Amino acid sequence: MNPTPSTPPPGQQYAPPPAQPYAYAPPPSSGPSMLSKVLLGLVVVLGAATGYLYNELTKVQSDVAETRNTLLDEMSKFRESAAVTTQTSRKSVQELKADVDAARAQASQLAGQAKIDAEKHAEDLAARLEKQQQAQAQRVNAVSAEVGQVKEQATTANNRITEVSGDVNNVKTDVATTRSDLEKTIANLKATQGDMGVQSGLIATNGKELAALKALGERNYTEFKIAKDKKNVPQKVGDISVILDKTDPKKNQYTIYVIADDKKVQKKDKSINEPVQFLLSRASQPYELVVNEVRKDMIVGYVSAPKVLTPRN
């Protein structure tokens, strides 16, 4: 028997199944022959194959229809997207055109403003130039006035120079006189022997002679006024310290303690203008203490120290 054909899908034309070949059946015989059995088998196989091919064809037709619908949907979406893109591009072009028009308008406006600014700048420069010319004229006038003043000052300075020249000549005369007096004073100074038996240098007996010794610059001189201290506190005089023990104004004598190099030495009943000598480790030449005046509980004088300190061996 032939299989019953199924209803075709919508949109497809019905294709009748292929016609089965007509097989002539020989008149039945008393028993099936081998040929009849073979033919019957072929018929069955052909029928099964025909049904399988029909089912596959139906599936292919269904897949083609589904693919067609999918393509139609994709084309519809592409058309919508293309329409949106076109509209967006058109809007962008319009906005760009508007920006270009605005830029052109702004450029034109800026050109006009630049011209205005240039004219204003030129006016400002002209005003500044005029002010500078006025200021320069004022400075020229001021310089002219200052030149006149300088000329007057130069005249006054010349007159003053003449006066100063006279003063300088007078000063030179005074200096020469002072130098002469100093030389006379130094010539009147006396050299004597100190209490240690060492030949002393020149001895000053008053302030004038001491100033002359200082002017010579051969030794360092430190003046002092030492009063007697009840607690016997040493008083610093240059590189040494001195304690006044007692004074005798009637005999112009005094007694002191000299502290140097951590040693304390008594100088007893010394007279005025007598060099009191003592040695320090820092100098090969002796230091000298000279008292020019003895008062009640006070002595006035100076300490003479070597200019160059050479330690003693």
Q: What's the pLDDT score for residue 199? A: 61
Residue 281 has pLDDT above 60, yes or no: yes
CA geometry: angle 285, 288, 293, nearest 5 deg:
170
Task: Write the CB contacts of 187 (distance below 8 Å, at least 6 apart in sequence).
Answer: none
Range 14-37 average pLDDT: 58
User: Domain segments of the chain: what residues?
Assistant: 52-165, 191-306
For every residue of 1-24, DSSP letters joined together read -PPPPPPPPTTS---PPPPPPP-P
Over residues 172-189, mean pLDDT: 57
Among 2.60.98, 3.30.70, 1.10.3470, 1.10.260, what is the CATH number of 191-306?
2.60.98
The pLDDT, as a whole number, for residue 211 is 94
pLDDT category of residue 235 using cuts at 50, 70 and 90: very high
Higher pLDDT: 86 or 208? It is 208
Residue 229 vs residue 186, higher pLDDT: 229
Q: Which residue has the higher pLDDT, 149 or 12?
A: 149
- Helical residues (DSSP H) of the chain, grouped into ranges: 34-188, 207-216
Q: What percent of the chain has pLDDT over 70?
A: 77
